[in-house]
Amino acid sequence: MRDDFEASFDEQLQAIQAEAAPAMAVNVLPPLLDATPDFSPFCFGYPAPDTPSRGQAPATLLAEAIWDPASRERARAILVDYADTEATRASFLSGVDDAAQLAVARILAVLVCAEESAVNLFHHECNRVSAEQVVADQQALREIETEERVHAWLIHTARTYLPEPEDISSIRRRTRRLFMRVASRDIATHFARITGLDSGVCISLSALLGSRKVNNIQGFARLIKQIRRDEATHVKKSRDHAVGLGFDADCFHDCYDLTRTGMVDMLTPIASSFDDLKVDPDRLFKRLMRFQESRLAGEAASVTGCFRELLAAEKRTLLAALRSP
């Protein structure tokens, strides 16, 4: 794929899906993947999966969780490679200067917070949807939850090889604040906002993958390429779920005002980390905010519909409160 983060998200999605080669089947899993993760949550703890054993070991997720078959094989392949700890350590550190190591550590801190938040969101939504929605929606939601759990394991593993930045506490605080702001009592609005975040993550990862320096950090490049591939499909599934819950499909850009502005505000203090990886942060941040141009161009035509969506969201929230015991 040409890692052109300036392209539209739909164009990027098509390219990402076209480039994904089938992963090689792996029959024997290394013992490390049978171990229950011992990582402490970075931003958000999350519940055990709703699988028969409720186990959180990667091997258990591969065996028991709901998966798209191709996604399972991609996850299996990278998990097996990451279980080779010495090779993984070298793929992140070999020939990588100190500034770049710290830059990768900062970006992975942001990403792991996003993954932990997503596990919670999709886990609880699977248990919230009505019986009528389960057949149509739950498999897609469960697949996303499982992929986010694997992403979290991979990122936590990678972070153990990297130095801890001095500003890690402020990164955690800013990232937590963003994800808490994105939450909405109206579930449809919450999922609409998630599409803005996840598509922004894909754009940011494409910008990173367009850097030769990032691609020379082989472990990091492979990890974010895997995450980008999965998150691109999550955007579509979250968008479909939001619309299925009653969100007006013409009003997604209004949700992006909060999410993309929040992303840029969160990333601005670590802009130098993008510079250290030979990615222009100003260009990236402008790309993240480009949705505003198309929103303003069609604002006169859409404002009435989106005002109706605001009223509809308030109605959905009120009805949900009335149904609660």
Q: Does domain 9-323 have CATH number 1.10.3470?
A: no
Place of tokens 């502005």: 261
C-alpha pair distances (Å), 115 with each of 2, 3, 76: 25, 22, 18
- Give pLDDT tens digits for 72-116: 999 999 999 999 999 999 999 999 999 999 999 999 999 999 999
pTM: 0.87
pLDDT > 70: percent of the chain: 79
Strongest mean pLDDT among 66-70, 100-104, 251-255? 100-104
First and final CA of the chain: distance in angstroms? 51
Amino acid 136 reads: A
- Give pLDDT tens digits for 113-162: 999 999 999 999 988 876 556 556 778 899 999 999 999 999 999 999 99
Q: How far apart are CA 201 and CA 307, in angstroms?
A: 28
Q: How far apart are CA 78 and CA 229, in angstroms?
A: 13
- Residues with Cβ within 8 Å of residue 96, at least 6 apart in sequence: 104, 216, 217
Task: Tell me if residue 243 falls in helix, strand or coil.
Answer: helix
Amino acid 234 reads: H
| pLDDT for 303 | 40
Q: How far apart are CA 168 and CA 56, in angstroms?
A: 26
* Confidence label for 297 from pLDDT (cuts 50, 70 and 90): very low
Please return the burial class of 45, using the count of CB atoms within 10 Å of its CB with bins 0-12, 13-18 and 19+.
Answer: exposed
Q: How many residues does the chain have?
A: 325
- Give pLDDT tens digits for 230-241: 999 999 999 999
